[in-house]
Amino acid sequence: MPATAFLPLLPGQIIEGRPATLGVLGGGQLGRMFVRAAQALGFETVVLDPDPASPAGRSCHHFIQAAYEDAEALREMARLAHAITTEFENVPAASLRELARLRPVTPSADTVAIAQDRIREKACFAQSGVPPAPHAVIETEADLAAVAENLLPGVLKTARLGYDGKGQARVGTRQELADAWHGMGRRACVLEKRLPLAAECSVIVARGRDGQTVSLPVQRNLHRNGILAVSEIHEGNIPAPLAAQAQAATCRLAHELGYVGVLCVEYFVLEDGSLIVNEIAPRPHNSGHYSIDACDLSQFELQARALAGLPLSAPRQHSPAIMLNLLGDLWLDAAGQPRQPPWRQILALPGAHLHLYGKTEARPGRKMGHLTFTGPTPQAARANAQTAAALLGIEAF
């Protein structure tokens, strides 16, 4: 029987004597929000994750505690789930290929493998029509010696397993570059030229197996220490022509990749008004969490629909939104002792939507939740978000 035999999957459908079930590799917050969206549609859910206390694992119908490479666990996932997705790009592509022999898997192992490797990722950006930053690939001492002077100052990034600022180093001179590369174990890296930025933004699209593609509004993002801090989503957050260009480029890239599922592409807006593509995430994205509260279709429902082969309606944003990322630092006082953030005061603010991920330990830099403010105008949402930031001790934006 072909892997896609049961598509489309219908909510509440009985297949092989069981309710239609959607599976996800990864039990973090993205998996948790996917599971809840799938359950709201009427699907059962199964999660595979090595952490017995994973947020998604405590929210699903069936939990498989195992490593992502565990062959027996993958077979159990394929037995329980009628279609399978992933919540993060560093799940082994080989595991996705194994599952795809038995069940529909989105996104494909090949597209996930591209997102796992900055070198391959840069090469595929030509298909979007928006260039990446000037860069050089460094895999050998000869590559290091051949780096052009005009790429400095730059940012050195490991080709694999880098996220939220990890596996990165700012370098200003050839000596700093050499020291950083050797400090990273002389692994394959990409050196990107630092460019004068006016803003950062991202676009999230969902694409079905039939090629139907829909897009969320463009998110304007603020990063601090390499981690997303604030997203602003409203008309005029970036110039309309740039927003249209970013959405068109993202849809074009998804089409050229033959992508199925939810895809996020991050962009830089340069001071001269031009657009540069930064990186892709083959999954829902932190910057799109606002869609749960500010849109009629969230990125997670779109993920479930694309996986199940259901129609993809164009999401409509009904309220301007500001989203604050909540890191573990907020649960620690100046001495590093545990504390509770002032949720009573936060929730008294108009338009506050608090989402905590159920993580059992707060650590500096760890994503513990997000806080979205919606309002009748961008100014109203922003004012309440600024008040909340002050109450939480988050730097104003």
* DSSP labels, 39-101: HHHT-EEEEEES-TT-TTTTTSSEEEES-TT-HHHHHHHHHH-SEEEESSTTS-HHHHHHHHT
3-state secondary structure of 13: coil
Distance of CA 201 to the CA centre of its chain: 13
User: Is-cis flag, bond preceding 8, omega within 30?
Assistant: yes
Q: What is the pLDDT of residue 323?
A: 98
Q: What is the pLDDT of residue 126?
A: 77
Query: Which residue ranges make up the annotated binding site for ATP?
Result: 118, 157, 162-168, 192-195, 200, 223, 278-279
In the chain, which residue ranges form alpha helices assigned H by DSSP?
A: 29-41, 71-80, 93-100, 109-115, 118-124, 141-145, 174-183, 240-257, 291-294, 299-308, 343-347, 378-392
Domains of the chain as residue ranges with CATH = 14-105 (3.40.50.20), 134-193 (3.30.1490.20), 197-392 (3.30.470.20)
Whole-angstrom Cα distance, residue 269 to residue 129? 15
Q: What is the pLDDT of residue 165?
A: 62
Give backbone dihedrals phi and psi of 253, rounded to 5 degrees, phi first: -65, -45
- Give the residues of the chain that fall short of pLDDT 70: 1, 162-165
Whole-angstrom Cα distance, residue 97 to residue 84? 11
Q: The pTM is what? A: 0.94
In tens, the pLDDT along 143-195 reads: 999 999 999 999 999 998 766 667 899 999 999 999 999 999 999 999 999 99
Query: Which residue ranges make up the annotated binding site?
Result: 118, 157, 162-168, 192-195, 200, 223, 278-279
In tens, the pLDDT along 20-44 reads: 999 999 999 999 999 999 999 999 9
Q: What is the pLDDT of residue 289?
A: 98
Q: What is the pLDDT of residue 127?
A: 76
| Assigned token pair, 11 | 């909510």
Whole-angstrom Cα distance, residue 271 to residue 195? 9
Whole-angstrom Cα distance, residue 327 to residue 356? 10
